[in-house]
C-alpha cells in the first residue's frame, strides 16, 4: 500500500498564518476531552460503516488481529453536511476501503462497544489520506469560550 500519501490539504499552521485571526477550527467540542495523548495507536483494517451523523461522523474500522479475532474501532470525523457538500463520500469514505489509521485512543479505555479513537491520519489504499492531526497552532473557536461567538 502506498506510503506516500497525497494529502487533501494543508496543516493548520499555514491556515492560521494566512487568516491572521483566530480560526474556528475543528470540533463541536474539544477532542482533548475525549482522547488521550498518552494512548497512541496504529491499526490496519477495513472500513465497515460510516455513520453520517451530527455533530460528527463516525468511521468504523474492523481490524483482524493475529489471533483471528476482530477488534472494532470507530474514529470521529467531520459534520456530514460538509462531507456531502464536498463530495467526500464518493471519493474517500467507501465501505470496504483498506485503511491504515494512526491516532489516539479515547480516555475511556474500554472497547465497549467499540474502541474509540481520533484518527490522526487515515491513509487509503489509493494513496489519499485524511489528516486529522495538528501542527498544534491556532486558537480555534469551538464554542467553549463565550467571547468567541
Partner 1 sequence: MAKRRAISTTALCWLFLASTVLCGLAAAEEPDLNGLWQAVGTAHWNLEGGHAEKGPATIVLGALGAIPAGHSYVEGGTIPYTDEARAQREEYRSEWNLWDPVVKCFIPGFPRQTYMPLPFHIVQSEEKIFIAYEWGSNSRIIHLDRPGTRGELPSWMGYSVGRWEGDTLVVEVTDQMPDTWLDATGTWHSDQLKVTERYTPMGANHIEYEATIEDPQVFTRPWTIKMPLYRRMEEGARLLEYKCVPFAEDAMWSHLRRGADRTKPVLKNLY
Partner 2 sequence: MMRTKTLLLTMMVVLIAAPATAEVPMKPWGKPSLQGNWDFKNATPMNRPERWKDKEFLTEEEVAEYQRGIVDRRAAAAANEGELREGLDGQADVDVGYNSGFLELATQLDGSLRTSLVVDPPNGRMPAMKASARERNKPYVDMQGVSPDGPEMRSLTDRCIIGFNNNPMRSGAYNNIMQVVQSESHVAIQVEMVNDHRVIPTDGSGSVAATTRFFKGFSTGTWKGDTFVVTTTNFKQFAAPSGTGDNVVFTERFTRLDEDTLQYEYTIDDPETYEAPFTVRQQFRRTDDNVYEYACHEANYSLPLVLRAARKLDEAGGSDENWMPSWHKRARQ
Chosen residue from 17, 84, 94, 139 binding partner 1 by CB under 8 A? 84
Query: According to CB under 8 A, which one of 45, 78, 80, 103 is a site residue for partner 1?
Result: 80
When CB distances are held under 5 to 8 angstroms depending on the partner's kind, the choice from partner 1, partner 2, none that residue 79 binds is: partner 2
Give min distance, CB of 52 to partner 1, in A: 6
Phi, psi of 32 (to 5 degrees): -65, -20
| Cα 57 off chain centre by | 9
Residue 101: which residues within 8 A CB-CB, separation 6 or more? 41, 42, 43, 44, 45, 61, 73, 75, 117, 119, 121, 122, 123
Cross-strand partners of 85: none
Q: Report the residue number, 1 or 84, with the smaller CB distance to partner 1.
A: 84
Binders of partner 1 among 113-142, rule CB under 8 A? none
Strand pairing partners for 105? 117
Q: From the list partner 1, partner 2, none, which binds 72 (C-beta under 5 to 8 Å, kind-based)? A: none
Give me the least distance between CB of 105 and partner 2, in Å please.
Answer: 10
40 binds, among partner 1, partner 2, none (CB under 5 to 8 A by kind): partner 2
Residue for grid cell 473557536: 141
Chain-centroid distance, C-alpha 118: 5
Question: Rounded to the nearest whole angstrom, what is the least distance from the CB of residue 70 to partner 2 in the complex?
Answer: 21
Beta-strand ranges (E) seen in the chain are 6-7, 35-51, 58-64, 70-76, 98-106, 115-124, 128-131
Q: 122 has which bridge partners?
A: 101, 130
Of 62 and 128, the one with the shorter C-beta distance to partner 2 is: 128
52 binding partner 1? (CB under 8 A):
yes
Which residues would be at the binding site for partner 1 (CB under 8 A)?
Answer: 52, 80, 84
Amino acid at each position: 500500500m502506498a506510503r506516500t500519501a497525497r494529502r487533501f490539504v494543508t496543516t493548520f499552521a499555514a491556515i492560521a498564518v494566512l487568516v491572521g485571526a483566530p480560526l474556528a477550527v475543528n470540533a463541536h467540542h474539544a477532542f482533548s476531552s475525549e482522547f488521550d495523548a498518552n494512548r497512541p495507536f496504529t491499526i490496519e483494517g477495513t472500513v465497515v460503516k460510516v455513520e453520517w451523523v451530527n455533530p460528527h461522523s463516525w468511521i468504523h474500522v474492523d481490524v483482524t488481529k493475529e489471533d483471528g479475532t476482530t477488534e472494532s474501532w470507530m474514529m470521529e470525523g467531520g459534520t456530514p453536511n460538509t462531507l456531502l457538500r464536498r463530495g467526500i463520500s464518493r471519493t474517500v469514505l467507501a465501505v470496504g476501503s483498506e485503511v491504515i489509521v494512526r491516532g489516539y485512543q479515547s480516555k475511556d479505555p474500554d472497547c465497549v462497544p467499540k474502541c474509540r479513537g481520533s484518527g490522526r491520519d487515515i491513509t487509503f489504499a489509493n494513496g489519499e489520506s485524511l489528516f486529522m492531526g495538528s501542527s498544534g497552532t491556532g486558537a480555534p473557536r469551538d464554542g467553549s469560550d463565550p467571547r468567541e461567538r
